[in-house]
Amino acid sequence: MAAVSQHVIEDAARLSERLFRRSILIALTVGLGGLLLMTAAVGWLVARNSADSAWVEHTYQVVGSIQRLETVVERSETARRGLLLGDDASYAATYRESMAEVPALLGRLTRLTQDNPVQQAALARLRPILDRRRANADATLALVEHGDRAGAQALFRRLALQRLTQRSRDVLEDMAREERRLLVRRRAEASGTSRILFLTVLAAAGLVAGVSVISLLLTRRYASDLRRSENELRRLNEGLDAAVRDRTADLTRANQEIQRFAYIVSHDLRAPLVNVMGFTSELEAAMKALTEQFADPAFRQSGLMTPAADVAIREDLPEAIAFIRSSTRKMDGLIKAILELSRRGRRTLRPEPLAMEPLLRALADTVRHLAQDRGAEVVLETPLPDIVSDRLAIEQVFGNLIDNAVKYLKPGRPGRIVVRGAERLGRAVFEVEDNGRGIAPKDHERIFELFRRSGTQDQPGEGIGLAHVRALVYRLGGTIEVVSELDRGALFRVSLPLTLAREEAAAE
């Protein structure tokens, strides 16, 4: 129940986490998209703004030209009047200068106001007025130049030059008004564009700030997630370390206990055995005395010896003593084996770098003669991974395995023992493979037990070799397994750490 609710809570947490992540992602995408749009808008608005400014500038130019034209018309009018009233060459020059300027100004205005039909129409009205005025003015001026001042003054009155000037003034005034109107409009447009630009930039800045804040939040969240995971990992790691330390300490303690136990047992078993053997010898000695007496012909003929006593002294007693002796000898062997195992187990391991190829080759060489006698060969497949471990223990492990391989050959089949090794997943894995008589799968566990052997008992041995090998491999931080079937050879696979940690001196 608790587990289920825990599960639900975790699921909900994961779901909300996923939702959060998705919404953040959407917000970010939208924000970035908006930012992109706004950048484009700002670009467009800036262009538009500069266009607006250009238009305003343009209007100023038009206004300037109109004013100039007005000025020129006024100046020419003033100069002409001056000329009519008095002879003054400077008036004539001013007049000509002013009139000469008119066509250029008109052309300029026409060019500038090409886009504006209102102004074009005004210009169309202005041009004949100015032409007529010029023609009239030139005529009066010609009269003045010929000295006919009075005729010129009469013509002047008749031509109603003032009216023409007045009309041109009106038209120019209209044009100026039109331009002022345009100026107001264009200024408004420009300032509108500016405002929009400003607002857009402001919005973009807001968006940038928003996206930044979201990014920051997200980064912080991820960072804190990361930190949390890291802390969790570290905690787990430390927990694992502690667990491994505890476990190792437990195992070491258990191992020491077993060693001590084996040591005590073997001692205490040996003490009574000393008695059994000792008193068996005493018995033998006593029996010898009896046998001698029984063998005495005088005694045999005395008739005192019963047939039962004869059988007892000649057959039963020697047989019994022989059995006691063989049994005690065997028991002594077993006790010695236990003692030896416990003693080897108490040895402190001293890790050192081991070149495995020469080490294994040396081991193979020690059995080469025996192997040749039995028609077998030992093959070393190179390269072999080097390890850091206890030399003696490694030699005992592989020495035992190679010995066994040579020992348990299949009669009638040329023996072939292959030793190989490889580095796999940070461990060194060695294999000793033979094509010998093999081990039935039901015996795979049994062969590693103390005093247990498998198959035909035709080879000498106490059944401690593989038990010792396995105990050693375990102490070296490794594992050992066997792959085999009866009559199909056997493969012993030893997996060892590449580097054995130095252990604290556990010896007494």
> Which of residues 271 and 425 has its CB atom nearest to other proteins in the complex?
271
Going by C-alpha positions, the residue among 172, 169, 139, 174 that lies closest to residue 154 is: 139
Interface with other proteins (CB under 8 A), residue from 16, 23, 191, 281: 281
- Dihedral of the CA atoms 495, 497, 501, 502 (nearest 10)? 50
Which bin fits 425, alpha (ψ -120 to 50), beta or left (φ > 0)?
left
Kindly state whether residue 273 participates in binding other proteins, applying the rule CB under 8 A.
Answer: yes
Interface with other proteins by CB under 8 A: which range of 58-66, 168-176, 265-273, 385-393?
A: 265-273
Smallest gap, in angstroms, from Cβ of residue 332 to other proteins?
A: 4
> Which of residues 241 and 268 has its CB atom nearest to other proteins in the complex?
268
Kindly state whether residue 267 participates in binding other proteins, applying the rule CB under 8 A.
Answer: yes
Distance CA 408, CA 419 (A): 16
Interface with other proteins by CB under 8 A: which range of 69-77, 270-278, 297-305, 395-403?
A: 270-278
Tell me phi and psi for residue 437, to 5 degrees. -80, -10
> Residue 351, SS3?
strand
Smallest gap, in angstroms, from Cβ of residue 475 to other proteins?
A: 19
Which bin fits 364, alpha (ψ -120 to 50), beta or left (φ > 0)?
alpha
Half-sphere exposure of 494 (CA within 13 A, CB side): 32
Interface with other proteins by CB under 8 A: which range of 99-107, 180-188, 264-272, 455-463?
A: 264-272
Half-sphere exposure of 422 (CA within 13 A, CB side): 4
Distance CA 373, CA 363 (A): 17
Interface with other proteins (CB under 8 A), residue from 198, 222, 279, 451: 279
**Contacts to other proteins from residues 166-195, by CB under 8 A:** none
Interface with other proteins (CB under 8 A), residue from 239, 278, 414, 441: 278
Interface with other proteins (CB under 8 A), residue from 185, 228, 300, 343: 343
> Which of residues 269 and 486 has its CB atom nearest to other proteins in the complex?
269
Kindly state whether residue 332 participates in binding other proteins, applying the rule CB under 8 A.
Answer: yes
CB 394 within 8 A of CB 421: no
Which bin fits 493, alpha (ψ -120 to 50), beta or left (φ > 0)?
beta
Kindly state whether residue 256 participates in binding other proteins, applying the rule CB under 8 A.
Answer: no
Smallest gap, in angstroms, from Cβ of residue 339 to other proteins?
A: 8
Distance CA 179, CA 191 (A): 18
Smallest gap, in angstroms, from Cβ of residue 283 to other proteins?
A: 10
Q: H or E element: which one contains 496?
A: strand 490-497
Interface with other proteins by CB under 8 A: which range of 111-119, 267-275, 314-322, 471-479?
A: 267-275
Smallest gap, in angstroms, from Cβ of residue 260 to other proteins?
A: 12
Interface with other proteins by CB under 8 A: which range of 31-39, 163-171, 176-184, 327-335?
A: 327-335
Interface with other proteins by CB under 8 A: which range of 45-53, 95-103, 253-261, 328-336?
A: 328-336
Distance CA 35, CA 316 (A): 113
> Which of residues 121 and 339 has its CB atom nearest to other proteins in the complex?
339
Q: What is the DSSP string of 196-216?
A: HHHHHHHHHHHHHHHHHHHHH
Interface with other proteins (CB under 8 A), residue from 127, 270, 413, 446: 270
Tokens 């072939």 identify what position?
416
Q: H or E element: which one contains 389?
A: strand 387-390
Give the sheet arrangement for strand 376-380, strand by strand. Answer: 376-380, 415-424, 427-434, 490-497, 479-484
Side chain identity at 270, as an amino acid letter? R
**Contacts to other proteins from residues 71-130, by CB under 8 A:** none
Kindly state whether residue 44 participates in binding other proteins, applying the rule CB under 8 A.
Answer: no
- Please give the size of the binding site for other proteins, defined by CB under 8 A: 21
Kindly state whether residue 317 participates in binding other proteins, applying the rule CB under 8 A.
Answer: no
Strands 479-484 and 387-390, by their bridges, are unpaired
Interface with other proteins (CB under 8 A), residue from 206, 272, 353, 411: 272
Interface with other proteins by CB under 8 A: which range of 11-19, 138-146, 280-288, 417-425?
A: 280-288
Kindly state whether residue 271 participates in binding other proteins, applying the rule CB under 8 A.
Answer: yes
Kindly state whether residue 505 participates in binding other proteins, applying the rule CB under 8 A.
Answer: no
CB 439 within 8 A of CB 447: yes
Residue 217 makes CB contacts below 8 A (sequence gap 6+) with 24
Interface with other proteins (CB under 8 A), residue from 118, 214, 277, 312: 277
Kindly state whether residue 32 participates in binding other proteins, applying the rule CB under 8 A.
Answer: no
Interface with other proteins (CB under 8 A), residue from 78, 252, 255, 280: 280
Q: What is the contact surface with other proteins in residues (CB under 8 A)?
A: 263, 267-268, 270-275, 277-282, 328-329, 332, 343, 507-508
